[in-house]
Amino acid sequence: MTAQIIDGKALAEELRQSFKARVETLTAQGHQPGLVVILVGEDPASQVYVKNKVNGCLAIGMHSEKIVYDKDVDQQVVLDKIAELNADPSIHGILVQLPLPRHFDEEKVLEAISAEKDVDGFHAENVGALSQGAPRFIPCTPYGVMKMFEKGNVDLTGQEAVVIGRSNIVGKPMAMLLINAGATVTVCHSKTRDLNFHTRRADIVVAAVGKPKFVKGDMLKPGAVVIDVGINRLQEGPDAGKLCGDVDYEDCLNVAGQITPVPGGVGPMTITMLLANTIEAAERKAAVEAGARK
């Protein structure tokens, strides 16, 4: 049996359309959601991501701007800009595009962003809130994956879930969200002794490894839900230059019950959830101000 495909591109579009009304309402109340994206250096992939983030905001009526610094800029200049944006009431979300140049202390920069404007959800305060089961901002990629489970009608309660990867951006917050949703979660990584043992008994596999076509069909339990977070560019062979995920899609298609493609799966959901986080930040601020007026 061929797996059902969870179409991230279609879901992202559906969600973005639904955001327009919320943005309109907020704008009418004087709270047009605003996102600033800070880019340091000229990494080509980062430039594309930043452009997509800003354009994604503008397309649904939000305010968005990018601030670009030379790769050699002094870290203090960026910290001063973040402090200025933290105090700017028209800005609800601040994002620093990673990776930063080597002379930067990434943690220090991320912690400088006000926890109320940390739409990436990387600030320690927001990581803590998520692990306590009361998140303020959920990191965009795992947030998008949760929306895909919802779309695929995947009931996570009591399910055996295996997350491959333990990064702060994807693996760890993903595991937290699955725990909070009632799944029994195993997190695997490069030191895991017998990966196949874990994946073969999983009802749900989330792959965030960064290795092209890493997950094969024989690593899966038939009927498993397979979420492919990976974005890799193939270096060789007839498909060189093309994007592929961490899952060998063709090999898994007839084993999995549901699967996400690459491209067109988790990727489009990530920026969509960044928009969601910025709108949620503006809604929270509007609610606080409305409460203060009463």
Q: Does 166 bind ligand NDP (CB under 6 A)?
A: yes
User: Any idea what the Cα angle at residue 233 is, between residues 178 and 140, rounded to 5°?
Assistant: 30
Contact status, residue 246 vs residue 207, Cβ threshold 8 Å: yes
Question: Segment near ligand NDP (CB under 6 A), from 33-41, 128-136, 161-169, 279-287?
Answer: 161-169
Burial 74-88 (b: 16+ CB within 10 A, else e): ebeebeebbeebeee
Q: What is the DSSP string of 112-146?
A: HS-TTT-TT--SHHHHHHHHTT--SS--HHHHHHH
Q: Which is nearer to ligand NDP, 112 or 170 (CB)?
A: 170
Q: How far apart are CA 149 and CA 14, in angstroms?
A: 15
Query: For residue 266, which of 154, 131, 170, 132 has the smallest C-alpha distance?
Result: 170
Q: Does 141 bind ligand NDP (CB under 6 A)?
A: yes
Question: Segment near ligand NDP (CB under 6 A), from 79-87, 107-115, 123-131, 203-211?
Answer: 203-211
Q: Which is nearer to ligand NDP, 62 or 174 (CB)?
A: 174
Q: Which is nearer to ligand NDP, 216 or 285 (CB)?
A: 216
Residues marked active site are found at 53, 97, 120
State the maximum Cα–Cα separation within the chain, in Å, rounded to a whole number.
65
One-letter amino acid for residue 69 of the chain: Y
One-letter amino acid for residue 158 of the chain: G
Q: Pick the binder of ligand NDP from 85, 188, 227, 281 (CB under 6 A).
A: 188
Q: Which is nearer to ligand NDP, 41 or 264 (CB)?
A: 264
Using CB under 6 A as the binding rule, the residues of this chain from 228 to 257 that contact ligand NDP are 229-232, 246
Question: Segment near ligand NDP (CB under 6 A), from 17-25, 78-86, 163-171, 280-288?
Answer: 163-171
CA distances from 291 to 77, 105, 163, 177, 294 (A): 36, 38, 41, 30, 5
Q: How far apart are CA 226 and CA 218, in angstroms?
A: 13
Question: Segment near ligand NDP (CB under 6 A), from 128-136, 174-182, 189-197, 235-243?
Answer: 189-197
Q: Does 183 bind ligand NDP (CB under 6 A)?
A: no
Q: Pick the binder of ligand NDP from 9, 167, 181, 286 (CB under 6 A).
A: 167
User: Any idea what the Cα angle at residue 270 is, between residues 82 and 199, rounded to 5°?
Assistant: 125
Q: Does 16 bind ligand NDP (CB under 6 A)?
A: no
Q: Does 169 bind ligand NDP (CB under 6 A)?
A: yes
Residue nearest to ligand NDP (CB): 167
Q: Does 56 bind ligand NDP (CB under 6 A)?
A: no
Number of residues that bind ligand NDP (CB under 6 A): 26
Residue numbers at the binding site for ligand NDP (CB under 6 A) = 141, 164-167, 169-171, 188-192, 195, 208-211, 229-232, 246, 266-267, 270
